[in-house]
Amino acid sequence: MWLPVLGLVVGVALGLVTNVTVPVAFSSYLSIAILAALDTVLGGIRASLEKSFDGAVFLTGFFTNTLVAALLAYIGNQLGVDLYLAAVVAFGVRLFNNIAAIRRGVFLLLRQRKLNRENAASRAQS
């Protein structure tokens, strides 16, 4: 469970140590890619809570969404259309949906655990 968190810390440390800088022109593409990646990660957490997590879908979704989002922003920039806004809206909505679903899932999980504990306690008393 702590390994993904450790991975996140390692990634942050790697970014700080390598001191890689992205040109300002590509900064917006990376922002969209991060948004897509966040959406994928939150979608993965939601799926794991709903017991429907698929590793292959998760991995391919991460890379595909990230690349497609950046590509969409690039194409929009070339066409002079703010296509990245579409990606921001789409991923933003999905992000909030996933967060809401995760919140509900966590509540359900906590209530289920509490209920299980109460049942176990009542069984022990009887």
Residues in contact with other proteins by CB under 8 A are 3-12, 14-16, 19-24, 27-28, 30-31, 33-34, 37-38, 40-41, 44, 53, 55, 58-59, 62, 84
What does the alpha-carbon distance between residue 21 and residue 16 come to, in Å, rounded to a whole number?
10
Residue with tokens 């009542």: 122
Nearer to other proteins, 6 or 79 (CB): 6
| Minimum distance of other proteins from residue 75's CB (angstroms) | 15
Cβ closest to other proteins, residue 7 vs residue 92: 7
Total residue count of the chain as it appears in this document:
126
CB 97 within 8 A of CB 38: no
